A and B are shown apart, each in its own frame.
Chain A
Amino acid sequence: GAGVSQSPSNKVTEKGKDVELRCDPISGHTALYWYRQSLGQGLEFLIYFQGNSAPDKSGLPSDRFSAERTGGSVSTLTIQRTQQEDSAVYLCASSPMGWFDSPLHFGNGTRLTVT
């Protein structure tokens, strides 16, 4: 079946512009995660959704970052007034219930470059 789909796969934007990154999880997966992967860094947790609620948004780096999920499905990560340090690969993952129940299924990521 279809896996986790992220779009766009690549995004180049100018400093100060807003960007939206989209994640389509596997159908029926209630848990959805956003991570950020920077060169030389690990995977940095950003936010976790269970259904449409975000019980853990502790990893969002600043108030320029926000995310929402609608219909228990598609999620959008928005970065306002992008900065060069926002350049990274943004990964989305989904799971039927949560990490403890079954493996996380990751998308291929969106590579964001802020010039």
Chain B
Amino acid sequence: GDSVTQMEGPVTLSEEAFLTINCTYTATGYPSLFWYVQYPGEGLQLLLKATKADDKGSNKGFEATYRKETTSFHLEKGSVQVSDSAVYFCALPSQGAQKLVFGQGTRLTINP
């Protein structure tokens, strides 16, 4: 079935470091891909999305490019801030079903 695999966390970085959180997927066809973020004490919210191959989603300085060749959707940010500390989830729609399948989440901590 359709699935998402994220890099295991937790990830700890210093402020202004470069961030990559890996996400690979298994799916039938070329579904839309999503990154959701869960800040401490808050509900999950959509961070960015890409709807077709080679699309780049971006928001709040984060970017992710839909790579069908490598079935990947890695999340990147050039210079992280303490406020980026959160749990990040990669997700895709389940084929034929009206639901999102999420990865296991990656906890990111940014130290000042």
A-side residues, CB < 8 A to B, are: 3-4, 31, 33, 35, 37, 40-43, 45, 48, 50, 55-56, 58-59, 91, 93, 98-100, 103-109
The stretch of B60-68, B73-81, B92-100 in contact with A is: B92-100
* Contact between chains at B44 and A106 (CB < 8 Å): yes
* Contact between chains at B43 and A107 (CB < 8 Å): yes
The CA of A98 and the CA of B105, in the complex, are separated in Å by: 22
Residue of B nearest to A98 (CB): B98
- CB contacts between A and B, total, < 8 Å: 62
Enumerate the 7 nearest inter-chain pairs by beta-carbon distance, A residue then B residue, closest first.
A106-B43, A103-B46, A43-B102, A42-B104, A106-B44, A42-B102, A98-B98
A99 contact from B4, B38, B42, B100, Cβ within 8 A: B100
Interface size, chain B (Cβ < 8 Å): 23
* Contact between chains at B93 and A99 (CB < 8 Å): yes
Task: List B contacts of A3 (CB < 8 A).
Answer: 43
Task: List B contacts of A93 (CB < 8 A).
Answer: 43-44
* Contact between chains at B43 and A109 (CB < 8 Å): yes
Task: List B contacts of A50 (CB < 8 A).
Answer: 98
Residue of B nearest to A104 (CB): B100
* Contact between chains at B99 and A48 (CB < 8 Å): yes
25 inter-chain pairs at a CB distance below 8 angstroms, sorted by A residue, are A31-B98, A33-B100, A35-B102, A42-B89, A42-B103, A42-B105, A43-B102, A45-B99, A45-B101, A48-B98, A48-B99, A50-B98, A56-B99, A91-B43, A93-B44, A98-B98, A99-B93, A100-B32, A103-B45, A103-B46, A104-B46, A106-B38, A106-B44, A107-B43, A108-B43
